[in-house]
Amino acid sequence: MKNIKNEYGMSLIEISIVLLIMGMVAAIIGPKLFGKVDDAKVKTAKTQISELENALDMYRLDVGKYPTTSEGIKALKEQPSGINTWKGPYLKKDVPKDPWGNDYQYTSPGSHGDFDILSYGADGSVGGEKNNKDIVSWE
């Protein structure tokens, strides 16, 4: 028979105390980390918009114009009909969705330049503040 006194382990009370301490630490640190996640998504959207702008410029060099609104930014990956000078694809991967899983909005000609690209942010609707703020190509 085994001697129970020689067994090593933790009692239920010790486990409960450890879980309580971990919960308190998570409650203090958690909100700060979630704020960082939101900031990272905004930065990712800005970076993706910049990459789309570069790809659109390469498209324009080959085709002589930016894709129309109806052709959309999918023209960077798939050749539009009637465009014979297309030398794409201009993106290595598929056209990305914004960090919140929504399509980027593209118009050409744009209200702020040759084209406008925007993400509506975390809330997916026009306007907003902080991580709900629209991320746009013209700022």
Total residues belonging to the chain? 139
Give percent of the chain with pLDDT exceeding 90.
60
Which two tokens mark 88?
A: 């794409």
Question: What value does the mean pLDDT take over residues 78-100?
Answer: 94
All structural domains of the chain, each given as residue ranges with its CATH number in brackets, are: 11-136 (3.30.700.10)
CA-to-CA distance for 38 and 130, rounded, in angstroms? 9
Is the Cβ–Cβ distance between 103 and 124 less than 8 Å? no
CA-to-CA distance for 80 and 74, rounded, in angstroms? 9
Which two tokens mark 82?
A: 């009637």
- Residue 134 burial by CB count (10 A; 0-12/13-18/19+): exposed, middle or buried? middle
CA-to-CA distance for 123 and 58, rounded, in angstroms? 31
pTM of the model: 0.74
For 28-41, the pLDDT digits (tens) are 877 776 667 778 89
**Consecutive H or E run containing 56:** helix 12-63
Q: Give the pLDDT band (50/70/90) at residue 70.
A: very high
CA-closest candidate to residue 109, choices 73, 68, 70, 59: 68
